[in-house]
Chain A
Amino acid sequence: MLGLVGIIQRLDKHLFDSLTNRLGDVFDKLTRRGSLSEADVDAALREVRVALLEADVALPVVKDLIARVKERSVGSEVLKSVTPGQQVVKIVNDALVDTLGREVEEINLKARPPAAMLIVGLQGSGKTTTAAKIGKYLTEKERKRVLLASLDTRRPAAQEQLRVLGEQARVATLPVVTGEPPIAIARRALQTGTLEAWDVVILDTAGRLHIDQELMDEVAEASRVTEPVETLLVADAMTGQDAVTIAREFDEKIGVTGIVLTRIDGDARGGAALSMRAVTGKPIKLMGTGEKLDGLEPFHPDRIASRILGMGDVVSLVEKAAETIEQEEAEELARKIQKGSLNLEDMLSQLRQLKKMGGLGSLMNLLPGVGRIKKQMAAANVDEKVIGRQEAIILSMTVKERRNPRVIHASRKKRIASGSGTSIQDVNKLLKQWQEMNKVMKRMKKMGKKGQLPDLSQLEDGALPDNMQLPGLGGPMGGNLGLPGGLPRLPPGFDKKKFR
């Protein structure tokens, strides 16, 4: 799918550059040598260090990581296909993934039912939403009978919040008894769990500071009473350097079995994940993505590693693309691209796919560190509303016009403009784009034959051309648009091995 590949390749270039570019500056001064010297590595690691700190990885964790990376880097052979900078990034990335844990750790329910699960964390970390999400997940995916109970008697309306969320998630909640203290609620929840034969009882607790002795004692007591098989610490992906303290204190005082990282759909780089994992050694089990109750995913260490390095959560992007794009359609499109003959119907289907994926904004959201590109796009006048408007324009055309836009002349333009509520200029712009698109297609076909990638570097500085209304439509495109088999695989030129 043309637009998307264009976007991905363009972003890939930028994102991969974010750290490797910096490193590139360091390495440019050096002549290419067979292996990395200690001085090379030291210079590079200074940049890595800043990148990690900017991603909110805690300082002690950064130091430890850097030491490990240094050990692995010095003397390591630089592969022929990569620059020294890329080589170091790869080693850093590997170290990050190692620290984050390569295995996916599932929620543990191995206990005599009802299995109690305690949800703890600071105020506002997303405990209640997470509790409801886990409840829904276990009910739907694991076919468990789940009971939710809120022990939060402190924040106004917290119990009501869980009740409403439970209703939305179709998960039962323990009836609220006004004035009942938290420990009593916990006992009653477990009793109810036993009597009514629930498989899992999820206990949402009040948000508390890890230094609030009284409240920490309370939750420790709740833990003693309920003997939870899982105690999940819910933490916000935006958390800064304090993540270490929070995780350590909760772990020491209550004994955490796993971590849930929330708001991973934001644009935080998520260094907190690394800090918490490193300090407690406890696995990150789940990631919360969004306010919808199905926004819960298993933890993907490799994605978080890329995010932390500012390389973007590219895998998620591609997966999202794969989810929304029909494979056959993509293949058909790829064929047409190769022929260099796209008509407006193709353009329409592209626009719609873009929309389906949540528009440019949401695509960009998956890619932290794209601030610069966003600005460029804003400067290049890429407006999401444009998608809607362009869709309207194409929809106001006859089938004949869509298939052969060349027939569109003055009076047709007038009709199309008034039919779509736009101006003739808008129609012209769209047609121009279509022309550009085909022109680029042809150019790329030629380059493809020569077997070389187009020079992506021309994209770099403010490079989106003026006529670019939509990335991938009319702008210079990344090469290799063969796109075999649609998108589920990573597009060529964007090979995973770059990172691994």
Chain B
Amino acid sequence: MAFFRRKKGATTPAADTPKTEEAQDSLMPAAAQVPLAAEHSSVDGPTPKPSKKPGWLSRLRNGLDKSSSRIAEGISSVFGGGRRRLDDDTLQELEEVLITSDLGPATAATLVSELGTRRFDQELVEEEIRAELAREIAAILKPVAKPLVIDSMRKPHVVLVVGVNGSGKTTTIGKLAKNYRDAGLAVMLVAGDTFRAAAIDQLKIWAERTGCKIVAREPGADAAGLAFDAMKQASTSRQDLLLIDTAGRLQNKKELMEELAKIVRVVRKIDETAPHDVLMVLDATVGQNAHSQVEAFKDMAEVTGLIVTKLDGTARGGVVVSLAGTFGLPVHAVGVGEGADDMKPFEAHDYARSLMGLTGQDGEAA
């Protein structure tokens, strides 16, 4: 797997680990489309290969493992280590375990009832249940696990990053910048959070760290105007990628949400097709309110995809599953730490199995 699953049709350097950098480089001019690139490990291939920086996947695993340990424990306690007949009581208990991972009552009920239709009254062991549920969840997630594809021919490909306060937008931009810089793209950042104290400084530091250009104004400046200028600058200086940060806003603040709509409108004055991606950053610790967030941001800022952050904690990010069912928005990546490299592609199979406390790479890869 590339850092992000490779775009269909793109060359697949399978699991030959050492070649990754060249693979990316050669991929770029040919397809002119660059998936978010980084360390490689294999998911498409049959065996996982250790990568140069082993930190990557294991860190995500660690994060997800920690987070899934309790759902695993939950299921264990339901089964008490042995076999158990899948009756109404068992199903009810399983449903509860799922709810504790923020899947939400509705999704949990659906998953469990599907499980019931297939396996009702059978004697099952814990692992079977986990695998079954993981399969169901993976099936829900698979359609939304899509890499973020940057078309560097656009000069610039414009990505707008939105979300509620504290979800991790600026850090996410830092990580994206790092990844695409490493892939050799010319990246420009826009310090569009002109509201929060020191947000501009924060992004400036990221620009320095990653060697990106940055467009910023004084605090309190109009974000839409700034975006407009940045669009111009990016296209004259032939940037491949323009990452626009925005101030965090709660989705029920209508005036603030309208500001986002304005940024989108203004950006379109320069390039009708922009923004090419509108990413909503979602904190994995958020519960059912995520639905309200996605709905509102989708409405006002035409969100095209999600990035789920803070998965290195104990939060299970289970709400992603019910979001996938409801909105079907692509999930591009997950954040697993504060470092520039702590970002990972969203992989349905992995995510689902990790949610269920299954770590191995068994069978059916993607």
Contact = CB atoms under 8 A, between A and B. Distances in A.
A53 B105 contact: yes
B289 A266 contact: yes
A165 interface: yes
Interface in A319-343: none
B254 A291 contact: no
Given A209-B312, A241-B102, A242-B315, A156 B205 contact: yes
Given A123-B166, A123-B168, A161-B196, A269 B289 contact: yes
A243 B104 CA distance: 15
B216 to A, nearest CB: 12
Given A241-B287, A271-B287, A359-B254, A157 B314 contact: no
A56 interface: yes
A365 B318 CA distance: 26
A404 interface: no
Contact of A242 (B195, B253, B255, B316): B316
Interface string B224-249: 00000000000000000000000000
B176 interface: no
Contacts of A268: 287, 289, 292
Contact of B283 (A53, A124, A364): A124
Contacts of B104: 53-54
Interface stretch (A9-17, A18-26, A232-240, A394-402): A232-240
Given A156-B201, A158-B198, A211-B66, A267 B165 contact: no
B290 to A, nearest CB: 8
Contact of B285 (A161, A164, A239): A239
A123 B289 contact: no
Nearest to A127: B166
B253 A58 contact: no
A443 B13 CA distance: 77
A265 B286 contact: no
A76 interface: no
A377 to B, nearest CB: 12
Interface string A114-140: 000000001111101000000000000
Nearest to A49: B105
A361 interface: yes
For chain B, what secondary structure do more than half of its interface residues adopt (helix, strand, loop), or is it mixed?
Answer: loop
B46 to A, nearest CB: 32
A282 interface: no
Interface string B83-101: 0000000000000100111
B310 interface: yes
B206 interface: yes
Given A59-B96, A157-B205, A240-B102, A122 B285 contact: yes
A241 B197 CA distance: 30
Contact of B288 (A54, A161, A242, A361): A54
A157 B313 contact: no
Contacts of A53: 99, 104-105
Interface string B201-221: 110111000000000000100
Interface in A223-257: 236, 238-243, 245-246, 249
B251 interface: yes
B288 A55 contact: yes
A267 B292 contact: yes
B286 A209 contact: no
Contacts of B206: 156
A160 B66 contact: no
Contacts of B70: 245
B191 to A, nearest CB: 11
A124 B251 contact: no
A384 interface: yes
B41 interface: no
B250 A266 contact: yes
A389 interface: no
A291 B289 contact: no
Contact of A126 (B166, B168, B171, B290): B166
A210 interface: yes
A242 B285 contact: yes
A59 B289 contact: no
A108 interface: no
Contacts of A156: 201-202, 205-206
A122 B197 contact: no
B37 to A, nearest CB: 24
A122 B313 contact: yes
A268 B202 CA distance: 28
B286 A267 contact: no
Given A55-B288, A245-B314, A361 B338 contact: no
B314 A59 contact: no
B314 A211 contact: yes
B202 A242 contact: no
Nearest to B254: A361
A50 interface: yes
B319 interface: yes
Given A156-B201, A245-B314, A238 B286 contact: yes
Interface string B65-77: 0100010000000
Given A155-B338, A209-B313, A241-B287, A54 B105 contact: yes
Given A54-B104, A157-B205, A266-B252, A240 B198 contact: no
B223 interface: no
B57 to A, nearest CB: 19
A154 interface: yes
A54 B313 CA distance: 22
A423 B8 CA distance: 54
B20 interface: no
Interface string A142-161: 00000000000011111011
B95 to A, nearest CB: 10
A168 interface: yes
Contact of B287 (A56, A163, A164): A56
Interface string B181-196: 0000000000000011
B164 interface: yes
Interface in A49-70: 50, 53-56, 58-59
Looking at A53, A154, A156, A364, which has the most chain B CB atoms within 10 Å of its CB?
A156
A157 B289 contact: no
B252 A267 contact: yes
B167 interface: yes
A168 B196 CA distance: 12
Contact of A164 (B197, B310, B319): B197
Interface string B276-300: 0000000101111110100000000
B166 A124 contact: yes
Contact of A241 (B99, B290, B312): B99
Contacts of A56: 102, 287-289
Given A50-B105, A161-B198, A266-B252, A240 B314 contact: no
6 contacts: A56-B287, A238-B164, A265-B250, A266-B164, A291-B195, A359-B254
Given A241-B316, A263-B164, A267-B250, 12 more contacts: A55-B288, A156-B205, A162-B197, A236-B286, A238-B164, A238-B283, A241-B101, A242-B313, A267-B289, A268-B292, A272-B287, A291-B195
Report, nearest first, the 4 A-B pairs whose CB atoms are least far apart. Answer: A240-B287, A124-B166, A56-B287, A161-B198
Interface of A: 50, 53-56, 58-59, 122-126, 128, 154-158, 160-165, 168, 209-211, 236, 238-243, 245-246, 249, 263, 265-269, 271-272, 291, 359, 361-362, 364-365, 371, 384
